[in-house]
Amino acid sequence: MNASRRGYGRAGSITAGCVLGALLALVAVAAEEPTTAQGPIPYGPGKEIARLANPEITESSGLAPSRIRPGAFWTHNDAGDKPRLFAFNDKGADLGAYMIQGATAVDWEDMASFSIGKRPYLLVGDVGDNQVRRKSYTLYLVAEPPVAAEPPRPASLPLAARMDFTYEDGPHNCESLAVDPVRREILLVSKTAEAGCKVYVLPLPREARVRDLVAKALATLQVPTTTAMDVSPDGLRAVVLTYTDAYEYTRAAKEDWGAAFGRAPRTIRMPPRPQGESICYGPDGRTLYLTSERAPSPLLQVSPEGPAGDAAGAPLHDWPRAIPKPAAVMGSHDVLAAVKVIWGEFR
């Protein structure tokens, strides 16, 4: 805002040995899960890598990488536009606009992309409230479509879920939203002119329509004018953007975000850009991307330097489909649910 989910039917039946094997596989995955973020990533100076070609992208206010098409991104306009998402690639080329069926756009401010199993999703936040007087706010969840070089026009996306929520302590203006796919949490950060922005948490939905959710406060950040945020695919890093620089918070696998946000963040220098209100980690979980609300919007990249940079670019799309939740955070209920999915896959 300007300042102001088939199992594949197969003959035969699954044996107890297969179930046991699947459980052992889950244990193996759990052993491989990262336990903490691997130290600070050294970043180089940011640079512009493209200009967005679609003239209908007038105020790029949210940004998320595609979990399907390498090099593609999603964005949306700020308040006043239709309820639509735009796709483009890292050269700025237009990959189409997609209307979200059944959605409205009061003040869309941020979005996120994430995967649960191999299923990629996009979450959009209608969470802006400059006057701090809205009675409720809405999040829209859609399955990410397989973007083609020439998508159908017009294109639309059915809603996977709609979440209507309030904050436990009253209305807030918010421009920062992220999803932790590991903890299955939605994070939101309020926007204030002075340091003292608050972090709130909501659970990811398991139903198509969820009403009367209440976002719970987690922490207070000594950061002013937060304009965007994202969580890395491994769920261990969160980057919070301001009009100038960004601040990165890290957590250990057994920590919640309340503990992470309670520590002092690391500052990451961002390149100058007018009215910058979007940021995301790339699929590598390291490289940072930004846009601007000024048209034509630049696409900016802040890349890791040295050995950390050499690791950049590895896609993180290929999680095992049978695991509905990363095994490192599974309880007995989750393991049972995973076995049910595996049973459905092979029977």
Which has more pLDDT, 97 or 345?
Answer: 97
Q: What is the pLDDT of residues 39-94, one digit of tens each?
A: 789 999 999 999 999 999 999 999 999 999 999 999 999 998 999 999 999 999 99
Asked if residue 318 has pLDDT above 60, the reply is no
Confidence of residue 154 (pLDDT cuts 50, 70, 90): confident
Residues 6 or more apart whose Cβ sits within 8 Å of residue 280: 63, 64, 65, 73, 112, 113, 230, 288, 289
Mean pLDDT of 115-139: 95
Question: How high is the pLDDT of residue 103?
Answer: 97
Tokens of 266: 């690391």
Query: What integer pLDDT is reported at residue 49 of this predicted model?
Result: 97
Q: How confident is the model at residue 26 (pLDDT cuts 50, 70, 90)?
A: very low
Q: What percent of the chain has pLDDT over 90?
A: 67
Domain ranges of the chain: 16-32+326-346, 47-310
Examine the pLDDT at 27 and tell me if it is beyond 50. Answer: no
Could you tell me the two tokens for 324? 């509905």
pLDDT band at residue 328 using 50, 70 and 90 as cut-offs: very low
pLDDT, averaged across the chain = 81
* Statement: residue 346 has pLDDT above 60: no
pTM greater than the 0.85 cutoff = no
pLDDT at 29: 34
Q: What is the pLDDT of residues 262-290, one digit of tens each?
A: 999 999 999 999 889 999 999 999 999 99
* 3-state helix/strand/coil string of the chain: CCCCCCCCCCCCCCCHHHHHHHHHHHHHHHHHCCCECCCCCCECCCEEEEECCCCCCCCEEEEEECCCCCCEEEEEECCCCCCEEEEEECCCCEEEEEEECCCCCCCEEEEEEEEECCEEEEEEEECCCCCCCCCCEEEEEEECCCCCCCCCCCEEECCCEEEEEEECCCCCCEEEEEEECCCCEEEEEECCCCCCEEEEEEECCCCCEEEEEEEEEEEEECCCCCCEEEECCCCCEEEEECCCCEEEEECECCCCHHHHHCCCCEEECCCCCCCCCEEEECCCCCCEEEECCCCCCEEEEECECHHHHHCCCCCCCCCCCCCCCCHHHCCHHHHHHHHHHHHHHHC
Confidence at residue 184, expressed as pLDDT on a 0 to 100 scale = 95
Quick check: 18 pLDDT over 50? no
Of 35 and 167, more confident: 167
Domain 47-310 coded CATH 3.30.2350.10: no
| pLDDT per residue as tens digits for the range 188-234 | 999 999 889 999 999 998 877 788 899 999 999 999 899 999 999 99
Share of the chain above pLDDT 70, in %: 77
Would you place residue 308 in the very low, low, confident or very high pLDDT band (cuts 50, 70, 90)?
A: low
Q: Is the pLDDT of residue 320 over 60?
A: no
